[in-house]
Amino acid sequence: MINLFRNYNPLNILWLAILLFVLRVGYMAQVPEKVEFIFVEPFARLLVPVKYEYAFSPLLNVIIAGGLVFAQALLLNSLINHHNLLGKPTFLPALMYITLSGLFTPFLTLSAPLICNFLLIWMLFKLFNLYKGEDVKSATYDVGMIVAVGSLVYFPFIYLFLAIWVALIVYRPFNWREWVISILGYVTVFFFLAVIYFLNDMLPRFTHIWLPLGKKFPDHISINSYNYLLLAPVILILVLCFFKLQQNFFKSYVQIRKTFQLLFFIFLTTALSFYLNSEFRLSHFLLCAVPATVFFAYYFLYATKRWFYEILYLLLFISIIYFQFNKF
């Protein structure tokens, strides 16, 4: 399986579609009677003045979510190959993203984090271009606006604003104008939201938007024991990837090293920002799938023992399907 996707063969798109279906068939066979879809945060509900939470039937919800994942996988694959992050063209990023996006059953339906992954991929397109850009003020302004839009959809996305400044640190010499203009991009979106609040006589409630930022980081979270079993091969692959990266780190181009540093920061940020939710949702960690995809693809591209990496991926793949059929 892995060797098939190591090569950049357009026929792999067909195999991706088949694997996408296989990774969701267990959930589709036992889909719940109702599946809720929350598209925007409650404070941005004025922007969507219609009832949409149950607009799609459960089966259609899963099908649409699968289509979005497939599009994101191809976009992410194109981004990684365009910037040559892995050293050669391959379809492994698309395979890894489709696999990771099927890891837990909450990942399989429409959700705000799934929508935000489009914004995160769009951010990466712009952030990766900061390295060679001469005047990047417009790009940083755009990325600030993207983070603001993502915050309206899913508030924990706000922490990805820090990724803009980290990208400026690792890619660019210091220029205070680039830092400030990213703030202006973010403020622009919320300025128009404030205008809408004012027109609806709700301006005093505008400051309540930021209250979750003062929440205490939780001491523990409740995760089903089945999820820990699924995380075992994921953690193992990440550890193996970081060992592989360490071996090849100083052999890579400077831009590639800086990009992996940025992706690692984004991975940590998306993982740790879950606590901003009023209610813990496992679907939050779908945001981690974008940076984790690059690490997974890197390991499987440069792993040398075929029998080991093929079995490791097969174990992850079978585990996902097994728990879909046995968790309801």
Query: Can you give the residue ranges of every domain in the chain?
Result: 1-211+226-325
Which pLDDT score is estimated for 264? 92
Quote the pLDDT of residue 220.
Answer: 58
Q: Got the DSSP string for 47-61? A: GS-S--TT-S-HHHH
Q: Rounded to the nearest 5°, which phi and psi values hold at 288?
A: -70, -20
pLDDT at 224: 63
pLDDT at position 328 is 45
All residues at 6 or more sequence positions from 33 whose CB lies less than 8 Å from its CB, including other chains: 58
Nearest CA to 238 out of 261, 264, 275 is that of 264
| Tokens at 124, concatenated | 């990466």
Q: Which range is least confidently modeled, 16-20, 60-64, 159-163, 279-283?
A: 279-283
Mean pLDDT for all residues in the chain: 85
Q: Contact 74/119 with Cβ under 8 angstroms?
A: no
pLDDT at 255 over 90: no
Tell me: pLDDT of 167 over 80: yes
Count of CB atoms within 10 A of residue 39's CB? Answer: 18
* CA–CA separation, 154 and 227 (whole Å): 23
**Which two structure tokens, joined as six digits, stand for 174?**
């210091």
- The Cα 151–Cα 163 span in angstroms is 14
Mean pLDDT, rounded, for 213-222: 65
The residue to which tokens 């879809």 are assigned: 37
pLDDT for the residue 248:
73
Task: Give the count of alpha carbons within 13 A of 263, CB side only.
Answer: 24
